[in-house]
Amino acid sequence: MSEGRVVFERRGAQAHVRFDNPAAHNALTGRMWLDLRDIAHRIAADRAIRVVTFRGTGGKAFISGTDIAKFADFVQGEQGVDYERGIDECMAAVDRIPCATVAIVEGWAVGGGLNIASACDFRIATPDAKFGSPIGRTIGNCLSAASVARIGGAVGVQLAKRMLLLGELLGADELRASGFLLKVIEREELDGAITALCDRAAENAPLTTRATKETMRRMGMAVLPEVDDLIAEVYGSADFRRGVADFLARTKRVPDWTGS
């Protein structure tokens, strides 16, 4: 896994965040997650910023997932609990960005990519975009309560179940019809559509945007269940270790899960 980076650029009232790890289809390393957290805090502290875009480098992927090499060292379920808490901390920083946020999805938005896209207020995608979190068919881990709530709230419970329980990758047209995507745009028209959306969002009263977003955030995250026991059971399982080993060995097959 290459090191990758998260690039921040400010242009007037607009901020642009780019996930730059094209050698790994913009998969997020641990360092990239922390950089995203810090950039989100920086944006939240700057009241002059009215809109933020998130985009992957290269046009082939928004974010294709997360670097899982570290999982090969996991031997106890509590390591999974700590890992999910770390992801929650980074995602909470994105949730708390007080201005409008836009995910620009070209190609894959998988795993952490789906989570980050779900955290954004609006999503624009190219026709070839694919969304999902097929962890039940790859490494056999699970998500935190906050991540499940975020994704389920954005895509709807039944589509979230298809992604998480069946491991389906859903296309742009279906997610446009569901309301998850604001627009599906051909690549040659993408930049113009982004500019128009960002200009409109930047014109909105900033205090209205801030209050509305925070109200919705509190509603969505108000009563999350305690699931550390579930996370520990999954990350501490032989199935998880088997899934990670098979994935890193590039077997390209669904592991022979045993439920233990």
User: Per-block average pLDDT, block size 10, for the chain (260 residues)?
Assistant: 88 97 96 98 98 97 94 96 98 98 98 98 98 97 98 97 98 98 97 97 98 96 95 98 94 92
φ, ψ dihedrals at 243, nearest 5°: -65, -45
Q: Are 19 and 63 in contact (CB under 8 A)?
A: yes
Report the relative pairing of strands 170-171 and 130-132 from DSSP bridges: antiparallel
The alpha carbon of residue 52 and the mean position of all alpha carbons in its chain are separated, in whole angstroms, by 15
pTM, 2 dp: 0.96
What is the model's pLDDT at position 2?
65
What string of H, E and C letters represents the secondary structure of 96-165? CCCCEEEEEECCEEECHHHHHHHHCCEEEECCCCEEECCHHHCCCCCCCHHHHHHHHHHHCHHHHHHHHH
What is the model's pLDDT at position 99?
98
**Is 137 exposed, middle or buried (CB count within 10 Å of its CB: 0-12, 13-18, 19+)?**
middle
Q: Are 63 and 106 in contact (CB under 8 A)?
A: no
What is the model's pLDDT at position 251?
87
Residue 179: partners with Cβ closer than 8 Å, 6 or more residues away = 156
Q: What is the CATH number of domain 5-189?
A: 3.90.226.10
CA distance 245 to 8: 34
CA distance 110 to 117: 9
CA distance 191 to 216: 28
**Is 91 exposed, middle or buried (CB count within 10 Å of its CB: 0-12, 13-18, 19+)?**
buried
